[in-house]
Amino acid sequence: MIVGRVLGPLVATHKHRKFEGSTLLLVQPLGDNDAPRGTALLAVDTVGAGVHEKVLLVLDGKAAGDAMQKKAAPVDAAIVGIIDHMDVA
Amino acid sequence: MQVGRVVGDVVATRKHDALTGVTLLLVQPLDPAHQPVGRVIVAADAAGAGVGEEVFFVRGREASFPFYPAEPPVDAAIVGIVDHWSAEGAHS
């Protein structure tokens, strides 16, 4: 899993039926010291995350589908947690 | 998933049997500011997208799911056409 920050929502009227009822959020992956790392991606939100929140992401089709509780969904990323804090020892 | 813009199509007469009938489109990935980022990829179209449209696509094994029960050998598929997005979180 990785950590990211929510940039904002994406709206798509015409999409695969497995996405119906799902919220799609653009997320910026974060690296050390919360610096942006790599390209922003699009994830299905399964926890009700909001803009600016730091979130926990799965980048795996099986895990993302499980998070959506849908079988055979064409999805590869899902938000599965909202991070309160992280402590790097 | 990632967002991108359809920039063309690919025609291949000789191809894997399971790719028959699958539309292949060229997609330029975009950043949150709608600017091109990274390399253009070829994606199977599961959304009826057209050139110039902004779309989102899925990568990996799940890319073949929209074509079930066919199992085309694809690793990227367009699964939605974007109306609009907000990236206000990028400006803070």
**Confidence at residue A55, expressed as pLDDT on a 0 to 100 scale:** 98
- Of the candidates A8, A18, A40, the beta carbon closest to that of B88 is on A8
pLDDT at B92 over 80: no
Q: Is residue A88 over pLDDT 90? A: no
Q: Quick one: pLDDT at residue B90?
A: 84
CA distance A51 to A8: 5
Q: What is the pTM of this model?
A: 0.94
Residues of A in contact with B81 (CB under 8 A): 12-15
Please state which architecture CATH assigns to domain A2-11+21-82: Beta Barrel (2.40)
Q: For B62-87, what is the mean pLDDT?
A: 97
Distance CA A53, CA B26 (A): 33
Is the Cβ–Cβ distance between B78 and B67 less than 8 Å? no
Provide the CA B52 distance to its chain's centre, in angstroms.
12
CATH H-level, domain B2-91: superfamily: EutN/Ccml (2.40.50.220)
- Name the residue facing A8 among B1, B82, B89 (closest C-beta): B89
* Cα–Cα–Cα angle for B34, B56, A11, rounded to 5 degrees: 80
Q: What is the pLDDT of residues A14-28, one digit of tens each?
A: 999 999 999 999 999
ipTM exceeding 0.95, yes/no: no
Query: What contacts B39, CB < 8 A, 6 or more positions away?
Result: B29
Q: What is the pLDDT of residue A89?
A: 82
pLDDT in the model for residue B84? 97
Determine the Cα–Cα distance for residues B26 and A73; give it in Å rounded to an integer. Answer: 23
Least CB-CB distance to A76: which of B29, B58, B83?
B58
Q: Is the pLDDT of residue A76 over 90?
A: yes
- Taking the C-alpha atoms of residue A79 and residue A2, their distance in angstroms, rounded to an integer, is 10
Q: What integer is the mean pLDDT of B75-85?
A: 98
Nearest-angstrom CA–CA distance, A86 and A1: 14
CB burial string A31-59: b at 16+ within 10 A, e below? eeeeeeeeebbbbbbbeebebebbbbbbb
Share above pLDDT 90 across residues of chain B, in percent, rounded to a whole number: 96
For residue range A33-69, list pLDDT tens digits in order: 899 999 999 999 999 999 999 999 999 999 999 999 9
- Given a cut of 60, whether residue B66 has pLDDT beyond it is yes
How many contacts does A have with B, using Cβ atoms within 8 A? 111
Interchain contact, B86 vs A9, CB within 8 Å: yes
Mean pLDDT over B28-55 rounds to 97
Which residue ranges make up each domain of chain A?
2-11+21-82
What's the pLDDT at B87? 93
Domain extent listing, chain B: 2-91
How close A56 gets to chain B, by Cα (Å)?
Answer: 15
